Homo-oligomer: A and B are copies of this chain.
Amino acid sequence: MLEPSKEDVAPNHVDQKLIPGQSSRFKNQIEFILEVDKLKHVLRQTILMDRSRRENSAEHSWHIALLVPVLAEYSKDTDIDMLRVMKILVIHDLVEIDAGDTYCYDDQGREDQARREEIAADRIFGLLPADQATEFRALWDEFEERDTAESRFANALDRVQPFLHNYFTDGQTWQENNINSRQVHDRMRPVKDGAPDLWDYVNTLIEDAVKKGILAE
């Protein structure tokens, strides 16, 4: 991988002379803000509810962050830090700017996904001042490891939203990718760990989808 250049990538050149106090810290924060705009170009397999186009990862990240205040009561552990859940969710897909979105049922793509995403995390979070790079990286690691109540709830929301899109668009993406109910069931397991009531609903909808013929058994 090429050494990332912070200086010469148009049009995001941030002139340090124009930064108040010529602060490197502030400059790095602005560069990060400009860089993350690229998440709006990362397309997911999920389609929008009106089926007009695929969703991008910025839209997905917004939608699941909004799910926090809507579905907080269904978190398995209710005494959790919802601010950290929201931070995790707005950050969790940033690695896709470099690593791309790996379709959750793409076993081949998933093989080297972890390695690609680690490299991406180093570069993207590394644009921030060191203390924030550490904080953001820790939040992303927490999401990936699913060892805390916050990250388990975050993962549940991250799985539920595209599932609802799939079900309520008559399984179009499932059918296009020849996905069956067992695969969906396995993929949704983190919902059980983070939000058991949502897991019940997911299971009912999987059964219904099979019954309706929009998801292969």
| A68 proximity list for chain B (CB < 8 A) | 87, 90
- Asked if B168 and A11 make an inter-chain contact with CB atoms under 8 angstroms apart, the answer reads yes
Q: A69 to B92, alpha carbons, bound, how many Å?
A: 13
Number of residues in A with C-beta < 8 Å to the partner? 59
> For chain A, what secondary structure do more than half of its interface residues adopt (helix, strand, loop), or is it mixed?
helix
Q: Is the CB of B62 within 8 A of A201?
A: no
Q: Is A193 positioned at the interface, with any CB of B under 8 Å from its CB?
A: no
Partner of A65, one of B18, B90, B136, B164: B90
Task: Give Cα A91 to B69, complex, Å.
Answer: 10
- Distance of A140 from chain B, by nearest CB (Å): 12
A66-B91, A136-B69 as given contacts; A197 in contact with B20, CB under 8 Å: yes
- With A58-B59, A59-B58 known as contacts, the answer to whether A70 contacts B170 (CB < 8 A) is no
Integer count of this chain's copies in the complex: 2
Residues facing B in A169-187 (CB within 8 A) are 169-170
Query: Does B19 lie within 8 Å of A201, measured CB to CB?
Result: yes
> Contact between B132 and A70 (Cβ–Cβ < 8 Å)?
yes
Does A155 lie at the interface of the complex (its beta carbon under 8 Å from any beta carbon of B)?
Answer: no
Give chain A's interface residues, CB within 8 Å of chain B.
11-12, 15, 18-20, 26, 29-30, 32-34, 36-41, 48-52, 55-56, 58-59, 61-63, 65-71, 82-83, 86-87, 90-91, 128, 132, 135-136, 161, 164-165, 168-170, 197, 200-201, 204-205, 208
Top 4 nearest A-B pairs (CB, nearest first) are A62-B62, A83-B83, A37-B49, A66-B90
